Structure 1
Amino acid sequence: MTLKGNKVFKAIGSSTRINMLQLLSENEMHISGLARELNISVPVAAKHVKVLEEADLVERRIFGKSHILKIRAENIHTALDSFAPTEMVEIDKGTKLLDALKMVSALEVKKVGDRDLIVSSDGEEGLYVFEVDGKLSDKTAEEFVLEKDATIDWKKLEAVTKKRLVISIKE
């Protein structure tokens, strides 16, 4: 695991810092606002924020004497990616990604319109996407042809709430 990954897990190893991340996931805040919400002193909040900054989980913007904090949740995801198992696959040039994936995973493919979509990987149903050398592809695994060495990140889309709406119907 990378040094950055270690810092992420250290940072989220504190309930105070977890609570800070939760608050920052809802809104950007001043350090003093975090301290007030968590019922801790500003110096204690600042020390916790420093750990979060070192792990690159929060971003600080300074406007005069105001320090505004914003969460960088994508770095938590990056740290978790380090736990993905790695498989080495040797294939012929021109092999479809779907065929390479079948060499290391049990896949269930379903025809949707004119496209073959993978709906299950190793028994886990869900929606899947892939990145080639860190970039999302606009092709399906059936359409993507491998012409050179590459690193493929095969990702299951997990249902993570990005925004919650509480709907109230007018009477």
Structure 2
Amino acid sequence: MNTKLDIVFSALSDSTRRHILTMLLEDDMAVTDVAEPFEMSLAAISKHLTILTRSGLISQEKRGRVKWCKLEPDALRDASIWMQSFGQFEAVNLDAFERFLERELDNDTA
């Protein structure tokens, strides 16, 4: 049993967190900017960010009075290796992953 994989896949199971990852593909973002497009409290977004941080998918850094979020693409490496063991999956390509996340976001908003 791979607890690290469980944590990553659990973090990816939520559409809000996948949307946040899509947003962070473009650039680092302040927490308040991450929260802006969502119709939920800053506290709720912070909980999602905590889950993403604990999974290693993002990192958070305080710069002055602002907390910034950054995508950590290497966190997907173990999940990619695990999927490759089935022989039908290729290594995670960040461009393809971005397209996947955007499709998921479109499906969630439709």
After TM superposition, which residue ranges in structure 1, 4 or more long, deviate above 4 angstroms? 155-160
* Whole-angstrom distance in 1 between the partners of 2:92 and 2:85: 17
Q: Which has the larger radius of gyration?
A: 1
* Whole-angstrom distance in 2 between the partners of 1:5 and 1:51: 13
Tell me what 2:70 maps to. Answer: 70
Please list the CA deviations of residues 69-127 of structure 1 after superposition, one character each: whole Å capped at 9, or x if unmatched. Answer: 000122123222123339xxxxxxxxxxxxxxxxxxxxxxxxxxxxxxxxxxx9x9xxx
Gaps of 5+ in 2: 99-110
Q: % of aligned pairs identical?
A: 22
Q: Does 1:161 align with 2:95?
A: yes
Provide TM-score, normalisation by structure 2.
0.74
* Whole-angstrom distance in 1 between the partners of 2:35 and 2:72: 19
* Whole-angstrom distance in 2 between the partners of 1:55 and 1:43: 19
* Whole-angstrom distance in 2 between the partners of 1:40 and 1:56: 23
Tell me what 2:47 maps to. Answer: 47
Q: Does 1:27 align with 2:40?
A: no
Q: How does 1:1-171 map to 2 (within 5 A)?
A: 1-85=1-85, 160-161=94-95
AA aligned to 1:55 is S
Gaps of 5+ in 1: 87-121, 125-154, 164-171
Q: More strand by proportion, 1 or 2?
A: 1
Cα contact 2:84–2:90 (8 A) shared by 1: no
Q: CA RMSD in A?
A: 2.7
Provide TM-score, normalisation by structure 1.
0.49
The residue matched to 2:47 in structure 1 has which SS?
Answer: helix
* Whole-angstrom distance in 1 between the partners of 2:48 and 2:10: 11
Please list the CA deviations of residues 2-26 of structure 1 after superposition, one character each: whole Å capped at 9, or x if unmatched. Answer: 2111100110110000000000111
